[in-house]
Each structure stands twice: as structure tokens, then as C-alpha cells.
Amino acid sequence: MPRAKFQTLTEQMYYILLCLSSECYGMDIMDKVPQMTDGRVKVGSGTLYNLLEQFLDADMIKETKAEGRRRCYILTDKGRERLDNEYKRLNSLVSDYQRLMGKEDPQ
């Protein structure tokens, strides 16, 4: 079953939204995400461009300013709520693991 749009977030969606918790140029997200994740997560330019368009359509982010073709975005309340929900979902995954496996860190 395909998941409902943005009901759960992929890693890339999660980190893009995380970057936009403060105002940020769309293009800069490509550099920020690998920095935030020690190079573990990378977002391709096409994927980023498409996701920004989709987040805008879903009112999860809004445009704050434009310099030529460079545009700045920030999370909306709806986007923040989705990101929080994802954070909670991930936390519940971690706590379920800890409870069942009886340890805190998977070594």
C-alpha cells in the first residue's frame, strides 16, 4: 500500500523540513543536509526542487523572500506540526526498541 502523502516522512523530507525550521534558501538545503548528518543523507537537486514545490502546494512551507530566482522558505504551522508528528513517531520507534530489546544503544 502506498503511504498517504507526507503522513510519514522519508529521511530526505524530514531533513529538508528540519532545515526550514529557520528561514533558509532552497538551494542551500543541498549543502546543509549532508552537514547535519555527517554526509549520511544527501538530497539530489531534482528531488529537492520537486519536494519544495510539493511542500509549498501542501502549505507545509511558505516563501519568505526572493532574490532573482533564489527563493527563501520557512516552515508553516502545518509543516511544523507534520515535522513534530514525525519526530514523535521516530521517538516511539526508539522507545519501543529500548523496551523490547532492554538496552539503550544498539551495539
Give the interface with other proteins as residue ranges (CB under 8 A).
2, 10, 12, 26-27, 30, 42-51, 69-71
Separation between Cα atoms, residue 74 and residue 18, nearest integer Å: 10
Nearer to other proteins, 42 or 89 (CB): 42
Question: Minimum Å distance from CB 13 to other proteins?
Answer: 8
Nearer to other proteins, 4 or 100 (CB): 4
Nearer to other proteins, 39 or 106 (CB): 39
Lateral strand order in the sheet of 24-25 = 24-25, 70-75, 61-67
Separation between Cα atoms, residue 37 and residue 42, nearest integer Å: 9
